[in-house]
Structure 1
Amino acid sequence: MLGVNDIRFFIALASCPTFSIAAKQLNVSASYVTQKLKSLEEKLGVSLIERHGRRLTVTEHGQLIIEFGSDIIQKMATLEESLRASKNDLCGHLNILAPIGFGDKKLSPIVGEFKKKHPGLTLDLILSDCPSWDDYPFQPDIMFYIGELNQSSLYRMVISSTRRVLCASPNYLTDMPSLTKPEDLLDHNCIILRENNEDVSLWRFTQLSLGKSCNVRVTPSLTSNVADVVKQWALSGLGIINRSEWDVMTELSEGTLVELLPEYTLPRVDIVALMATNQSARSRRINNFLDFAKEKLQEQM
């Protein structure tokens, strides 16, 4: 008979592309992962994972464990949480999915601080260059999304918003044409971060003094799906970037990047949390984390 720990193990394994990555996530050896999986398959008499070289594929039987097991774990966590509610303790587990740059720089300290406040809670922060609710074998409790949100059946909560900044290194600007209006960007090297499914090459401006809007479609000289790569290219003098202020605040204060076209604004960008259920149906740990993250992020933005 499967135990709760067996289910947790298998769901964690199924979320990883290789045994070695699963071993790191579970903080055990790769041989332990292999033996544990073999033991589960022998106990159940079915194959749960197929190996294709180093890659792992979950079988139909494995998918059943994920589907029903996730519900069991959720109900167990809810039971524990209800039993501890009288002591105002939070327990159980939170799966949080977020973009890499935002998750690393802004969200990870908040997750750590929340864990200190609630030691009975376990949290898993999964970072992706393009987070998607349906791309993981487990269901996230919360997915953070930055930017324009396409049609979604998920419940949405705006956590904060951030200003976008056009910037480049002083070295880049030395030998390049003057930049006094958005249309001048067509004569410059623009660096683009591919994120979510947005039209990232269309840069939209509003002139502060006149309230006049202007859209410019830039042709990127460099593109990447990793925010730190894009910023490093800008710091190396390779072009102009359009980034969230929180991502370049340190560089702007140090002068290694300088803000361009300050008389124009770029649209503010919402930081959104997505959940599968409405507030009344969500667990206390989800609602408490959302309130905590909202308070902390609004202090910083």
Structure 2
Amino acid sequence: MLTSQDLAFFAVLASEPSLAAAARSLDVTPPAVSQRLQVLERRLGMRLVDRSGSRLSLTSEGALLAERGQAVLEDLESLAAELRERRDIVSGPLHVAAPLGFGRAFVAQAMARMRQLHPAVELKLTLLDDPASGIRSDRWDVLVQVGPLADSALAMRRLAPNRRVLCASPAYLEARGHPIHPQDLGHHVCGVIREDQADVTLWSFGGDDGETATIRVRPELASNDGEVIKAWALAGLCIVQRSEWDIAGELRAGHLIELLPSWRMPDADVVALLGPRQGRAARMERFVQVLKDLLTPVPWR
């Protein structure tokens, strides 16, 4: 017979590269881990770990136990959370994933507020340089995204409006002039942020008169860090497109100037995806509401 303690022990063991690493994670000695594993194997009448190599390797039975055992542990934790929620106690782990810049600026604040409101919730924030890749993961509960999403059957909550803005510094415009039409961008120095798998060199615009334009820019400056690209634009080196949330202060101060005001780039609204795990609705929904409250009224407008 398996207990939840057996499943939790083996889940740790299966996630580590060696018995010694598992011992460190469990805060016990390697002989204690080995002995407990032997007891578990004898009780089940099968080998769960292949001991022939230097690295910990699961047998097919061990892999099955690790996979199904993790699901059972999550179901047990979800059941316990639902029972606590019936007493209006929001608790349990909450894993949030978010883009680097927006996560630092806003999501971290929302998680701090969540902790104040619901101290029994265990928080984890993962900041991603490729948020779109997170959609394929089942290891998070809420994914915050800025901009368009790949097709997904996951529940989505819109948090705040956000425009993409084409901009440059006064120094750049004094030296290189203002573009009048999107086609003029071919004669300008453009910088791009390569922070996901999107085609960042293809810029689309919609005009006030209904005209559309799609321009392939040849970036002379590129980085995977939005702060670097913004700094280069502020230094007068290039034209960039940035999210409104990130440059609203610089626009108000006149450090950056919005370009092509009669043309609009596709919006990049802030949304939250609710993860595929089951039984976590209360803390997921509570956190999304906390984040939405933080973004209302929209702080960058």
TM-score (norm 2): 0.77
Hey, what's the Cα distance between the residues in 2 that align with 1:99 and 1:65?
Answer: 34
What is the percent sequence identity of the aligned residues?
A: 33
Is the contact between residue 192 and residue 221 of structure 2 (CA under 8 Å) also seen in structure 1?
Answer: yes
Alignment map for 1:174-185 (pairs within 5 Å):
174-185=174-185
* Contact in 2 for aligned 1:77/1:93 (Cα 8 Å): no
Q: Deviations over 1:211-269 (max 9, x none)?
A: 32222221111222222222222222221110110011222233322222223221211
Aligned to 1:260: 259
Q: 1:140-289 maps to which residues of 2 (within 5 A)?
A: 140-208=140-208, 210-277=209-276, 282-289=280-287
Query: Over alpha carbons, which structure has the higher Rg?
Result: 2
- The structural deviation recorded for 1:9 is 5.8
Q: Counterpart amino acid of 1:226?
A: D
**What's 2:290 paired with?**
292
Structure 1 117/195 Cα, relative in aligned 2: closer, same or farther at 3 Å? same
Q: CA deviation at 1:125?
A: 0.7
* Structure 1 position 79, deviation (Å): 3.1
Give how far 1:200 is off. 1.7
Maintained 8 Å contact 1:115/1:123: yes
Which residue number corresponds to residue 26 of structure 1?
Answer: none
Q: Please give the alpha-carbon distance, in whole angstroms, between the structure 2 residues aligned to 1:42 and 1:253.
A: 66
1:51 Cα offset (Å): 8.2
Distance 1:154-1:116 versus aligned 2 partners, 3 A rule? same
Partners of 1:128 and 1:58 in 2: CA distance: 29
Task: Return the alpha-carbon distance in structure 1 between the equivalents of residues 272 and 112 of structure 2.
Answer: 18
- The answer to whether the 8 A contact 1:80-1:91 is kept is no
Preserved CA contact (<8 Å) 2:110 2:287: no
Deviation of the 1:103 alpha carbon: 1.1
| Greater strand proportion | 1
Structure 1 segments unaligned to the other structure (5+ residues): 23-30
Determine the C-alpha separation between the residues in 2 that align with 1:37 and 1:236: 56
The match for 2:67 is 67
Shift of 1:123: 1.1
Q: How many residues align?
A: 279
2:204 touches 2:214 (CA, 8 Å); kept in 1? yes
Shift of 1:207: 2.4
1:177 deviates by: 3.5
User: Using a 3 Å threshold, how does the CA distance of structure 1 residues 96 and 47 change in structure 2: closer, same or farther?
Assistant: farther
Alpha-carbon distance change, 207 to 6 in structure 1, aligned in 2, over 3 angstroms: same
- Preserved contact between residue 191 and residue 221 of structure 1 (Cα < 8 Å): yes
User: Are the structure 2 counterparts of residues 122 and 248 from structure 1 closer, same or farther at C-alpha, using a change threshold of 3 Å?
Assistant: same
> Is the 2:169–2:236 contact (alpha carbons within 8 Å) kept by the matching residues of 1?
yes
- Comparing 199-208 with 115-124, greater Cα deviation is found at 199-208
Unpaired stretches in structure 2, ≥5 consecutive residues: 39-48
Query: What do the CA deviations read for 1:52-109 (whole angstroms, capped 9, x no partner)?
Result: 9xxxx98678865763454344334323323322432200011111111121112111
Using the size of structure 1 for normalisation, the TM-score is 0.77
CA distance in 1: counterparts of 2:29 and 2:59, whole angstroms: 15
State how 1:93-132 maps to structure 2 within 5 Å.
Answer: 93-131=93-131, 132=133
Secondary structure at the aligned position of 1:151 is classed as: coil
Q: Evaluate the alpha carbon distance shift between residue 204 and residue 114 of structure 1 in structure 2; reply closer, same or farther with a 3 A threshold.
A: same
Alpha-carbon RMSD: 3.6
Q: Which secondary structure state, in structure 2, belongs to the residue aligned with residue 204 of structure 1? A: strand
Whole-angstrom CA distance in 2 between matches of 1:183 and 1:37: 67
Q: State how far apart, in whole Å, the 1-side matches of 2:26 and 2:83 are.
A: 36
1:133 corresponds to: 134
Is the partner of 1:127 in helix, strand or coil? strand
Residue from 31, 38, 43 that aligns with 2:36: 43
